Amino acid sequence: MSLLERLQCYGEVLVHEPMSRHTTYRIGGKVDYYIYPHTEIALVQILKMLKAENVPYYVLGRGSNLLFHDDDFHGAIINLDKTLNNYYFEPDGTLVAQAGCSIINLAIEALKRSFTGLEFASGIPGSLGGGLFMNAGAYQSDLAGIVESVCVIQDENLIWLPKSSLDYRYRHSLFQNHRDLTIVAARLKLEKADQEQIRQLMRSRHERRVSSQPLDKPCAGSVFRNPDERPAWKIIDDLGLRGLQIGGARISEKHSNFIVNEGGAKAEDVHALISRIQKSAKEKYAIDLITEVEYLNWDEKKKKV
């Protein structure tokens, strides 16, 4: 039995699937296997197979916050948002949710139940798993502030890790340095609050987001983490780079910490803009801008501009 046939026992498998269909940049080459596992147990088996066959893989949610290279990826992408997207609210505000859940949808469901704590996330377009991986946040809040524990696959076992072991910091988590841990669910703690106040806060933040971010064009969210000195967008503006275009990629006129796909952009176009910004910030201000956007299917040779 071939690897494909075995994988199909545990999930839906797309072959030679263009990653441009699955990233918010609408950029990316083809992948040998694009897999939707049926369940967590199926995911355990899929990971076991891929490791045994030495097939490289990435686990993704909604394809935001990443830059996938245009070269074909001879490996597997495992997508959790289609099937591992169940969530459960307890009366005391405990929320247990699978990694494939939409963060925005969780914020909306919390509002319906008058739970506060996820308002900051009502505009984050990724999955819970991806958000936990990078400690997603906005408006001086982040997921680390409400996480109690995270369920992961480690050595074919499902285990719960307490928050104290997850090394959460600004846009950082344990998972970034331990790719052997696959996030499958989390336990979050919310609080009861006035529903109308929650709704008004979410509405005001939505309006602010719509007015300040280029949501009408393919992008991956904020490109750089904010350094201590000042916000990344301000540094980019001070460098005079707002609106700069390379190939089909442009530094957004609306928000300069966003790079948008103007049509037909290549991964190298986006990377060239990122490198230009980083080099200029280092030369003029001695500031090292660190990307929030994660590079997938890249190596150091490809990153040379």
Q: Tell me, what amino acid is at 101?
A: C
Alpha helix segments (H runs only) across 113-212: 128-134, 195-212
Which CATH class, in words, describes the domain spanning 232-303? alpha beta
What are the residues whose beta carbons fall under 8 Å from the beta carbon of 197, sequence distance 6 or more?
116
d(CA 138, CA 201): 13
Check if the beta carbon of residue 171 is closer than 8 Å to that of residue 133: no
From 3.30.43.10, 2.60.40.650, 3.40.470.10, 3.20.19.10, which CATH number describes the 3-79 domain? 3.30.43.10
Please report where in the chains the tokens 């502030």 appear, as a residue: 145
Q: What integer pLDDT is reported at residue 125 of this predicted model?
A: 85
d(CA 261, CA 218): 5
**Ranges in the chain, pLDDT < 50:** none
Active site residues: 171, 222, 292
Sign of CA pseudo-dihedral 174, 175, 179, 183 = positive
Burial class (CB in 10 A: 0-12, 13-18, 19+), 193: middle
Q: What integer pLDDT is reported at residue 299 of this predicted model?
A: 83
Q: What integer pLDDT is reported at residue 140 of this predicted model?
A: 84
Q: What integer pLDDT is reported at residue 207 of this predicted model?
A: 87
Domain range annotation of the chain = 3-79, 87-211, 232-303
Q: Is 44 helix (H, G, I), strand (E, B) or coil?
A: helix
d(CA 147, CA 56): 29
Q: Tell me, what amino acid is at 296?
A: L
CATH architecture, domain defined by 87-211: 2-Layer Sandwich (3.30)
d(CA 133, CA 64): 12
Q: What integer pLDDT is reported at residue 235 of this predicted model?
A: 98
The neighbouring-strand residues paired with 46 are none
- Start-to-end CA distance of the chain, whole Å, equals 43
DSSP, residue by residue, 77-107: EEE-TTTS--EEE-TTSEEEEETTSBHHHHH
Structure letter (DSSP) for residue 272:
H
The residue among 289, 150, 178 whose CA lies nearest residue 230 is: 289
| Residue 287: CB atoms within 10 Å | 17
Q: Which pairs count as long-range contacts for 191-196, CB under 8 Å and 24+ apart, including other chains? A: 191/93, 191/115, 191/116, 191/117, 192/93, 192/114, 192/115, 192/116, 193/114, 193/115, 193/116, 194/114, 195/111, 195/114
